[in-house]
Structure 1
Amino acid sequence: MLLADTTNKVNEMIKDYMMMKKEIARLEQIIFGYSVPMINWGVAQYGMDAAMPKCSSGKSKAELKQMDLRERRQHSRLLILRSKVMILESYTDSFSDLPTNIIYDRLLDGWTYRAIAEELSVSVTYVKDRKHHIMDVIVSAQKAQNAQNAQKDHFLHAQ
């Protein structure tokens, strides 16, 4: 499954990396049953309201079905986000020179070009050039991987 096949997609994935990590953590907490703040817990009641009988606190079948659909959508979003994050993380420390690896790590952490340039004592133009190099490497590797997967699929179907 190709998720990063163009430079624009890779650029967006790099920009959204921190947001995707936070969303993955949030979805995992919701889907896999960790404590979730419940907005419909209600508040304490007094007087006549407290004495009156209440309806069932359980969920109706329609509510359960809607929750199931929502959970499926969240799970599919979780899988897509995990794939994107895994692609980006697979390139950590995979570039030929140390400055490019540092720039890549800082880009994933959400640093600006200027902040990266100041830390490395290089120009902003250098940082931008390295980012374009990084995106080209990722796109090329993803295209090569897709071609290899297509050959495997073709070989399996040809037999």
Structure 2
Amino acid sequence: MNRKEIEDIISAYRLMKREIDRLDDLIRGIGSGGSSGNNGVAPYGIEATMPRGSKGISQSELDQLDRRERKLLTRMRKYQDKVDFVESAEELLEDPMLQIVYSCMMEGLSYRAIGKHIAISREQVRRLRDDIINQLCQNNNLCQSWQYLNREKQLV
């Protein structure tokens, strides 16, 4: 795992989160007027007493998915794994200042915006970012997780 890969995946975090939401809506059928029916309305009467299924997709539903939906589901899972990877990396940083800068980087803020947020210069933000990336590069567990994600990508 090198510096460029870490920078790229952190900067792509917001995009992946939005794409996961979009793909989830497509798969669940919300965007196409699916059977969810009463969005935002509490059930009443007999519907309120009926058991509800889980939000996950059952095996029988997976068997019925068409080819496009399977691809969307695979892509969504890949993005979710990467998002989980980026979020887990934040816990590895011990310094609260580094955690704040990392969080702002995940939100897509510029150096100037991060500096204004925590009242430091852009140059100090750049140095903190370099410290973050160096710490993450040197973490063996994170490197193994990254290699696992890349190996999974090659198998698919």
TM-score category of the 2 structures, normalised to the smaller one: 0.5 to 0.7
SS at match of 1:95: coil
Aligned to 1:143: 143
C-alpha change, 1:96 and 1:20, in structure 2 (3 Å) is: same
SS at match of 1:111: coil
Query: What TM-score, normalized to structure 2?
Result: 0.64
Aligned alpha-carbon RMSD (Å): 2.2
Higher-RCO chain (CA-CA 8 Å, sequence separation at least 6) = 1
Consecutive unaligned residues of structure 2, counting only runs of 5 or more, are 34-64, 149-156
Consecutive unaligned residues of structure 1, counting only runs of 5 or more, are 39-66, 150-159
Instruction: State which of 68, 71, 76 in structure 1 corresponds to 2:69.
Output: 71
- The CA deviation at 1:14 is 1.0
Check whether the contact 2:26–2:32 (CA below 8 A) recurs between aligned residues: no
Instruction: State which of 6, 16, 20 in structure 2 corresponds to 1:10.
Output: 6
Matches within 5 A, 1:1-159: 5-31=1-27, 33-37=28-32, 68-141=66-139, 142-144=142-144
Task: State the AA in 2 paired with 1:23.
Answer: E
Task: State the AA in 2 paired with 1:86.
Answer: D
* Per-residue Cα deviation, 1:75-105 (whole angstroms, up to 9, x for no partner): 2211110111001111234322111111011
- The CA deviation at 1:138 is 2.4
Determine which structure has more spread, i.e. the larger CA radius of gyration: 1
User: How many residues were matched structurally?
Assistant: 115
Query: What TM-score, normalized to structure 1?
Result: 0.63
